[in-house]
């Protein structure tokens, strides 16, 4: 183990050529980041996750109930063993050929089967209440950490240590909770973002680039506060407030991540630091991660502009909602809309039995016209 740690913390990778770990030991005159400080982030990430569960249950949920946010989820699909087997074992989006085969097998209209799959996909989506609780947790954390980060932006102090460890712990908790949170279409992109963010926090801390790291984190947290607030307003059906917050978010996001970030931060880390300390292996990795983050910023800025333009064009008459647009456009900004599950036209109704059931029941022993029971 000692050999692995020695290889991992190789000075020639992490530090400039004329610097050693001994030069970064804390003294009475100066304080430097210590790599071992970051070990605390892993258990703290678990604590943050548990705090989140308590927060959502005892603070966010009562707030949502007070705002009369609905607790029920999407309408459940009618239980059917054959369709359920296809959904879970083969595909959630059957093609035309498979739909026709299922239609003949079940004696159901193709549109009815399409509707069943839409409703079944929607069953896996959380309710508006769950979405509100998640957004309120993130809003609260981002607001706190942004305020704290702005107040302690200074040379390395104990507060900077605390700020770094807390941010790293939070993003570690997001990385793992992403598998249990609301599933969005940008899952892989967000996973890449979390990995890049965690790596940047670690590299900037170990390389004694804490001021750059603090700036990057504050820059991101500022816009995140507004988008989570806009989501909460959307779930609470406060349309005017939602529109205002989204507009503020879009302006701040684009100006900070396409303006301040590349012109101020990237310029400093890429060009000014080259002249001061010169490149070394971890310097290249650190700047490549910063550039990767800039590419993600550009992609998300495009999505924000596209979402806003599409929402405005769809709402030329009456109100528009930037966080509630068509299912093709909502992914990275917000995925609160369920798929359309309105009854299809010309739906066939059958009373005959199939698949070995008796005449009083529909397919697999369930009443065709009965209300959809709760999922067990």
- Segment 316-350, tens digit of pLDDT: 434 556 665 433 343 434 444 444 444 444 444 44
Span 268-312, pLDDT tens digits: 999 999 988 889 999 999 999 999 999 989 999 999 999 888 888
Token pair listed for 174 = 């997001």
319 lies in some domain: no
> What are the helix (H) ranges across the chain?
2-8, 11-14, 41-55, 61-66, 81-89, 96-106, 110-123, 128-151, 158-177, 187-206, 210-235, 239-255, 267, 273-276, 281-314
pLDDT at 278: 86
Are 366 and 353 contacting, i.e. CB atoms less than 8 angstroms apart? no
Rounded Cα–Cα distance for residues 208 and 269 (Å): 12
Looking at the fold, whether 50 and 188 belong to one and the same domain comes out as: yes
- Which CATH number goes with the domain that contains 89? 1.10.10.60
18 within a domain of the structure (yes/no): no
Read off the pTM: 0.77
CA 160, CA 149: separation in Å to the nearest integer?
A: 8
Tell which wins on pLDDT, 9 or 258: 258
Least confident of 177-181, 306-310, 368-372: 368-372
Is there a single domain that holds both residue 58 and residue 173?
A: yes
Give the model's pLDDT for residue 351.
37
Residue 135 lies inside a defined structural domain of this protein: yes
For residues 167 and 200, membership in a common domain is answered with yes
Are residues 207 and 119 both part of a single domain?
A: no
Range of the domain at 92: 81-124
Tell which of 274, 289, 313 closes a domain: 313
Q: What is the pLDDT of residues 204-262, one digit of tens each?
A: 998 888 888 999 999 999 999 999 999 999 999 998 999 999 999 999 999 999 999 99
Torsion, CA 325, CA 326, CA 327, CA 329, rounded to 10 = -70
* pLDDT at residue 324 in the model: 56
Among the listed residues 134, 169, 227, 174, the one whose alpha carbon sits nearest the alpha carbon of residue 41: 169
- 93 in a structural domain: yes
Task: Tell me: do 55 and 117 sit in the same domain.
Answer: no
Q: Domain ends where: 284, 313, 342?
A: 313
Residue 229 and residue 138 in one domain: yes
Total residue length of the chain: 376
Do 94 and 237 reside in the same domain of the chain? no
In a domain? residue 255: yes
What does the pLDDT read at residue 172?
A: 95
At residue 155, the pLDDT reads 61
pLDDT at 142: 96
Work out the mean pLDDT of the chain and round it to a whole number.
82
pLDDT: which is higher, 32 or 164:
164
Taking the C-alpha atoms of residue 337 and residue 334, their distance in angstroms, rounded to an integer, is 8
What is the pLDDT, as a whole number, of residue 352?
37
Residue 139 — pLDDT band, cuts 50, 70, 90? very high
Q: Do residues 85 and 215 both lie within one domain?
A: no
204 lies in the same domain as 106: no
DSSP code of residue 369: T
Residue 9 lies in a domain: no
What mean pLDDT comes out for the span 65-94?
A: 87
The answer on 173 and 60 residing in a single domain is yes
Q: What is the mean pLDDT of residues 7-12?
A: 87
Same structural domain for residues 65 and 115?
no
Residues 258 and 119 in one domain: no
Residue 372 lies in a domain: no
Predicted confidence (pLDDT) at residue 366 exceeds the cutoff of 50: no
Q: Give the chain's domain count.
A: 2
What is the tens place of the pLDDT at every residue in 94-134? Answer: 999 999 999 999 999 999 999 999 988 888 788 889 889 99
**107 falls within a domain:** yes
Handedness of CA 152, 219, 193, 16 (dihedral sign): negative
Last residue of a domain, one of 297, 313, 329: 313
When pLDDT is cut at 50, 70 and 90, the band that residue 181 belongs to is: confident
Confidence at residue 341, expressed as pLDDT on a 0 to 100 scale: 44
Rounded CA-CA distance 283/273 in Å is 9
């Amino acid at each position: 183990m000692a050999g692995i740690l020695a290889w991992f913390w190789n000075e020639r990778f992490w530090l400039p050529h004329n610097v050693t770990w001994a030069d970064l030991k804390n003294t009475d005159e100066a304080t430097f980041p210590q790599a071992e400080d970051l070990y605390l982030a892993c258990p703290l990430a678990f604590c943050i996750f548990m705090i989140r569960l308590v927060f959502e249950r005892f603070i966010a949920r009562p707030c949502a109930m007070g705002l009369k946010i609905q607790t029920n989820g999407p309408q459940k699909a009618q239980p059917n063993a054959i369709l359920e087997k296809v959904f879970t074992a083969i595909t959630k989006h059957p093609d035309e050929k498979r739909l026709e085969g299922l239609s003949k097998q079940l004696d159901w209209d193709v549109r009815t089967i399409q509707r069943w799959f839409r409703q079944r996909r929607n069953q896996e989506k959380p309710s508006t209440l769950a979405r509100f609780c998640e957004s309120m947790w993130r809003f609260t954390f981002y607001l706190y950490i942004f305020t704290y980060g702005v107040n302690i932006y200074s040379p390395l102090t104990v507060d900077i240590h605390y700020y770094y460890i807390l941010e790293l712990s939070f993003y570690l908790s997001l990385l793992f909770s992403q598998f249990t949170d609301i599933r969005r279409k940008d899952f892989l992109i967000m996973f890449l973002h979390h990995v890049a963010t965690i790596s940047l926090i670690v590299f900037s801390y170990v390389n004694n680039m804490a001021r750059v790291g603090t700036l990057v984190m504050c820059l991101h947290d500022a816009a995140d506060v507004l988008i989570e607030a806009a989501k909460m307003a959307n779930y609470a059906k406060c349309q005017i407030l939602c529109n205002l917050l989204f507009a503020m978010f879009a302006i701040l996001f684009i100006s900070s991540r396409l303006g301040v970030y590349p012109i101020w931060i990237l310029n400093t880390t890429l060009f000014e630091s080259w002249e001061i300390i010169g490149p070394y292996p971890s310097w290249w990795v650190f700047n490549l991660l910063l550039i990767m983050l800039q590419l993600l910023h550009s992609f998300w800025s495009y999505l924000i502009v596209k979402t806003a333009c599409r929402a405005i064009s769809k709402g030329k008459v009456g109100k528009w909602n930037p966080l509630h647009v068509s299912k093709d456009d909502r992914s990275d900004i917000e995925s609160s809309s369920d798929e359309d599950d309105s009854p299809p036209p010309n739906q066939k109704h059958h009373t005959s039995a199939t698949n070995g059931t008796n005449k009083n029941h529909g397919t697999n022993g369930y009443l065709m016209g009965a209300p959809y029971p709760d999922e067990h």
